[in-house]
């Protein structure tokens, strides 16, 4: 099992950085090798990536998610990988993101690449592209403020109901899904999060469905 850990500092508030990261379908817009990420529901995604010149597909589930703090995942089929993304507030407009990915290299090319630090460099480049994207934009394309524990959504924690249109493969009319991007090496290689677009609001639903307003609590 190979482990990759990389950090980067962003000149945006922690909430902005976290909200944008929840747009999983946009991962392909900044993650090398990721071709598609489909958000199936609050905690499940399907990834399509190009690895070593061939296409790979796998399913993953979010095991833990806490707003402005962390997102953790693990694969449930295909390429074995897991990891966590942590968000640390450094100041009013400063955030540190730390990505840790554990994955099982398959075959000589991937094993040699991991040994030579190719995975570390790829994740670093992905984070640099994410920084360029969010700092240039200055705001997120959407948000999902729900909480996940042990792979289950905390239904008591609902979002404030902000919605809008969100980039690639996003939903329409204010019920946009997370988006359509991509991830690499586990978190990459099959990420999901609307890749482009944005605007008038933030989405609070990963699957594109419209839920009745919460009775209490916030997400």
> 14-51: per-residue pLDDT in tens?
999 999 999 999 999 999 989 999 999 999 999 998 87
pLDDT given at position 51: 75
Cβ neighbors of 53 (< 8 A, separation 6 or more) are: none
Q: How confident is the model at residue 155, as a pLDDT?
A: 57
Nearest to 50 by CA among 122, 101, 121, 131: 122
User: pLDDT at position 21, please?
Assistant: 96
Per-residue confidence (pLDDT) for residue 204, from 0 to 100: 46
Residues contacting residue 173 through CB under 8 Å, at least 6 positions apart? 165
pTM of the predicted model as reported, rounded to 2 decimal places: 0.70
Length in residues, the chain? 219
Looking at the chain, the whole-number percentage of residues with pLDDT higher than 70 is 64
DSSP helix/strand/coil, 115: helix
DSSP 8-state secondary structure symbol assigned to residue 184? B
For the chain, which domains are there? Answer: 2-153 (3.30.530.20)
């Amino acid at each position: 099992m190979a482990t990759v850990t990389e950090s980067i500092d962003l000149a945006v508030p922690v909430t902005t950085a976290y909200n944008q990261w929840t747009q999983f379908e946009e991962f392909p817009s900044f993650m090398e090798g990721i071709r598609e990420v489909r958000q199936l529901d609050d905690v499940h995604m399907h990834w399509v990536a190009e690895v070593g010149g061939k296409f790979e597909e796998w399913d993953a589930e979010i095991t833990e998610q806490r707003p402005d703090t962390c997102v953790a995942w693990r694969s449930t089929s295909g390429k074995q990988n897991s990891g966590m993304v942590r968000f640390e507030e450094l100041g009013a407009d400063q955030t540190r993101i730390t990505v840790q990915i554990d994955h099982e290299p398959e075959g000589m090319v991937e094993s040699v690449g991991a040994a030579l630090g190719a995975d570390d460099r790829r994740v670093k480049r992905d984070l640099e592209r994410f920084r360029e994207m969010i700092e240039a934009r200055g705001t997120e394309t959407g948000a999902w403020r729900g909480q996940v524990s042990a792979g289950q959504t905390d239904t008591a924690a609902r979002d404030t109901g902000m919605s809008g249109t969100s980039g690639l493969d996003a939903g329409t009319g204010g019920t946009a899904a997370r988006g359509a991007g991509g991830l690499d090496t586990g978190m990459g290689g099959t990420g999901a999060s609307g890749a482009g677009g944005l605007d008038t609001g933030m989405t609070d639903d990963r699957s594109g469905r419209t839920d009745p307003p919460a009775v209490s609590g916030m997400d």
